[in-house]
Structure 1
């Protein structure tokens, strides 16, 4: 059975503000829904382990989000995330980073999880991320000393979307700018449109709207 490692943030606020944050639920649940629908297993991990903060759990009209969040086995996993350093990345066929602003504070600069991801990628593993999730790709350095992003085309949450969402002044850094400086190419479509970039074994999606398509692309690559 194929298996996906899902690292999530432990950081429960937006940057250094008091605004409740963490992982944006729909970006996790829509991909989990695709994994479940295709018989693909997954483990949820975080740097510290334990209960992972989620927001966006009360979005009206998002049936997939509500369905996954109400699943008892999913609740057990999100409330008891494994410590990333204690799992063997060799046991997984892909790594998926859901978004949410929280990871801009931890996974975006965590060398330990980045080293796991580099090892995974160099062993023919797949890396997928959506919205702010691609921030976790920033610290990934391959064994030749090159950043993973140096040769990759990616997308992620845009400056315009930060402005629309009212977060441009509170984020620890602007993800679009960081990716534009580090990746081979950063591209985007109009705010809130579905957009996925696939470059070899790296899949990235622009925003929450793109989460479902990232899940489908990940499943397709895994099969």
Structure 2
């Protein structure tokens, strides 16, 4: 039987106090989906359910074949998401959970109690917990049943402070993923140079730094699933 993965997308479409749209980032869904969809059964969720907003800037930026083909042929993947809260208590129905990046998750997923509960349930059920780019920030404050932080003492990566400065949005996001995860992990944050590929596998915790790391995260999930 094919492994089952729960992909999580943001429902947030406005970039902080700017009058600019945001959402999830195209290659960070397209590439892991491309790697995994033929070998696994993928279910897609978002906080509000229904259509999850795609960051229009990511359509402009992502001209690679995988992203272009995904955009053209797979819109049902993000236009028909299920509500995130419907998966509480169902970690044993899945083998992994994966959070897609983009700036959107910084506003509706990082401090979302339902999301934090899901992550805890997946982790404590022995499942793979993964994310790319901004999305590893959703792990920064997840507490396990014993009160400890999920990421404490674990190597982890995410979109870096330098990368956030280069896109000019450091003052727009509620916090910078690198700073929050460096603190929560106890100094275990690791990174490549800006925009370089970096995938970190820390047991069942799999994270990627940026869009360039999206394929590698998908491949690391596949390897962890033994497929």
Q: Structure 1 length as normaliser, TM-score?
A: 0.94
Tell whether the 8 Å contact from 1:15 to 1:101 is kept in structure 2 after alignment: no
Structure 1 counterpart SS, 2:110: helix
Separation (CA, whole Å) in 1 of partners of 2:171 and 2:200: 27
Residues 1:31 and 2:4 aligned together: no
Q: 1:155 aligns with which of 154, 157, 169?
A: 157
Deviation digits for residues 94-145 of structure 1, max 9, x if unmatched?
0001110011011100111111111111111001111001011123211111
Q: Paired residue for 1:176?
A: 178
Residue correspondence of structure 1 range 17-28 to structure 2 within 5 A = 17-28=18-29
Structure 1 counterpart SS, 2:197: coil
Structure 2 counterpart SS, 1:70: helix
Name which of structure 1's ranges 198-207 and 143-152 shifts more when overlaid on structure 2. Answer: 143-152
Name which of structure 1's ranges 130-139 and 50-59 shifts more when overlaid on structure 2. Answer: 50-59
Separation (CA, whole Å) in 1 of partners of 2:104 and 2:225: 27
Matched pairs, number: 220
Separation (CA, whole Å) in 2 of partners of 1:208 and 1:220: 20
Q: 1:219 aligns with which of 194, 219, 222?
A: 222
Q: Paired residue for 2:124?
A: 122
Structure 2 counterpart SS, 1:6: strand
Tell whether the 8 Å contact from 1:49 to 1:81 is kept in structure 2 after alignment: yes
Separation (CA, whole Å) in 1 of partners of 2:130 and 2:77: 20
Q: Paired residue for 1:187?
A: 190
Residue correspondence of structure 1 range 78-117 to structure 2 within 5 A = 78-87=78-87, 88-117=90-119
Do the aligned partners of residues 195 and 3 (structure 1) sit closer, same or farther apart at CA in structure 2, a change above 3 Å counting?
Answer: same
Separation (CA, whole Å) in 1 of partners of 2:153 and 2:144: 11
Tell whether the 8 Å contact from 1:155 to 1:197 is kept in structure 2 after alignment: yes
Which runs of at least 4 in structure 1 moved beyond 4 Å after TM superposition?
none
Q: Which runs of 5+ in 1 are unaligned?
A: none
Give the CA deviation at 1:60.
Answer: 5.3
Q: 2:146 aligns with which of 144, 148, 153?
A: 144
Tell whether the 8 Å contact from 2:12 to 2:53 is kept in structure 1 after alignment: yes
Q: Please, what is the CA RMSD of the aligned residues?
A: 1.3
Separation (CA, whole Å) in 2 of partners of 1:60 and 1:103: 19
